[in-house]
Amino acid sequence: MTTATDTDILTGLADIINEISGRPAADVVPTASFTADLDLDSLTMVEVVVAAEERFGVRIPDDDVAQLVTVQDALDYIVRAQVSA
Amino acid sequence: MTVRDEPVVITGIGMTTPLGGSTADTWSALLAGASGTRLLDEDWAADLPVRIAARAAVDPTGVLDRVEARRLDRSQQLALVAAREAWADAGEPGVEPERLAVVVSSGIGGVLTLLGQDDVRREKGVRLVSPLTVPMIMPNGPAATVALELAARAGTHAPVSACASGAEAIAYALDLLRLDRADVVVCGGAEAAIHPLPIAGFAAMKALSKREDEPERASRPYDKARDGFVLGEGAGVLVLERASSARAREARVWAEVAGAGITSDAHHVAAPDPTGAGAARAVVAALRDANAAERDVVHVNAHATSTPAGDVAEALALRSALGADTDHAVVSATKSCTGHLLGAAGAVEAAFAALALHHRIAPPTRNLDDPDDEVTLDIARVDARPLPEQGVALSTSFGFGGHNVALALRTAS
């Protein structure tokens, strides 16, 4: 499958987070922390992860989700996962 | 005067029902004798044994913020809409969070989410099941939603007693105020169960009207041709506080919640005790709790769901409890207009009784063309009827499981 670029992934994540949490897409910048900056609770994070898996065709195991602190962490993870997929 | 003896009053009312998205819209439609029952013309309803229901007139997802709505089951959405209206109507009492309690019931809970997420599980797999499923299906979900909204920290409760749930919530709220466990209690009920499975289940019990050719004439309490209830959805929420606190902040008072009576039949899991003995005991207990006499009762908002057995049992119960004074009470069967809101019904109807006392008018009963001979009550039929300046109104609610709840309201002094 074709892999998304960093920009595509960032835009996609911003769309997902906006759809699920109502947080403005513009707030979803690489340095933003999911909890401290974007104020996503643990249930919302589960929804975001599942939506990202669907959208980008990757699998993010629960143990790995805990390591994703910032948006950049998620971007890097998805890029790596797409390459290995 | 001890806290136990202080009158408890209603200072806020909110509702969203098949007749309207607010108290004012619902009340005016009710006085006009409108019907909220419609044909279900959706594809999913095509093979149902009964294809009529009374949907909320205003879709809560059109009122709530999109993100807020997607985290809530429809029963919770309806509860939130009604609670916001009730809280605003009460003038947003400046109560300490630790002295604000919530008692909001649901008869069934988040059944739309439960069944919808099971569809997701089967069609898309377990991983796609929403992490919000549990908070959306739990029967205390509407109560928790309201408590979060208002930051109520004196306790959040959800007594469940099927179609008596909304009334039991108000009875419990009265207790909380009398026991000094809170200074303000937001109470009521919410229900959203219009889905093929609950409809199939109620239809299998032969509890639902099958009058599909005339949906607006299907809910006909006390009429000889009644053949079951119409499933409805909605929410009703009241704000209760002690009269002294309402006076201190110069709040408008709709009515006093003067007493409550709760009994159980232990007769059959679904059928009413045909003698109405348990229901009668609840009415007697409510009047005693209210320090009221039978002759004080000027109005009854009857449970009267339009089932052949239930309506007669209730009529017998009222006559047994009130004796000859039954004739002084104008009875309204408002489910003829709203349909049966299950766990929300008792709360919405207690609000109707409060509004009836306040406006001194008993709402009409739709579709009562030919009253059952066994029902000897003075029923407000086509037209609303005037009520005296002062008096007691009863609101009765009964639920599968043999639950009987009677609330006694009194004109505000």
pLDDT tens digit string along B350-381?
999 999 999 999 999 999 999 999 999 999 99
pLDDT tens digits, one per residue of B343-356: 999 999 999 999 99
pLDDT-based confidence at A1, cuts 50/70/90?
very low
As a whole number, the mean pLDDT across chain B is 97
Q: A83 vs chain B: nearest CA distance in angstroms?
A: 23
Residue (of B264, B257, B298) closest to B281 by Cα position:
B264
Q: Which of A21, A22, A46 minimises the CB distance to B131?
A: A46
Read off the pTM.
0.96
pLDDT-based confidence at A5, cuts 50/70/90?
confident
Beta bridge mates, B189: B105, B236
Q: For B151-176, what is the mean pLDDT? A: 98
pLDDT at B272: 85
Count of residues in chain A: 85
Q: What is the ipTM of this complex?
A: 0.86
Q: For B104-122, what is the mean pLDDT? A: 98
Cβ atoms within 10 Å of A83's Cβ, excluding its own: 9
| Residue located via tokens 């013309």 | B41
pLDDT at A6 over 90: no
CA atoms within 13 A on the CB side of B393: 35
Q: Which of B65, B131, B135 minimises the CB distance to A47?
A: B131
Written as six digits, the tokens of B164 are 């008596």
Q: Which of A22, A43, A50 minimises the CB distance to B127?
A: A50
Q: Do A50 and B67 touch (CB under 8 A)?
A: no
pLDDT at A2 over 70: no
CB pairs under 8 A between A and B: 17
Q: For B192-207, what is the mean pLDDT? A: 96
pLDDT at B4: 85
Residue numbers in B near A50 (CB within 8 A): 127-128
- Assess B66–A contact: CB distance below 8 Å, yes or no: yes
Q: For A35-60, what is the mean pLDDT? A: 94
Q: Do B131 and A20 touch (CB under 8 A)?
A: no
Nearest chain A residue to B134 by CA distance is A43
Q: Do B65 and A22 touch (CB under 8 A)?
A: yes
pLDDT at B101 over 50: yes
pLDDT tens digits, one per residue of B41-67: 999 999 999 999 999 999 999 999 999
- Assess B125–A contact: CB distance below 8 Å, yes or no: no
Q: For A49-53, what is the mean pLDDT? A: 95
C-alpha distance from residue B312 to each of B11, B297, B308, B315, B377 (Å): 34, 20, 7, 5, 11
DSSP letter for A57, please: T
Rounded-to-integer distance, Cα B225 and Cα B325, Å? 28
C-alpha distance from residue B344 to each of A61, B95, B245, B248 (Å): 42, 25, 27, 31
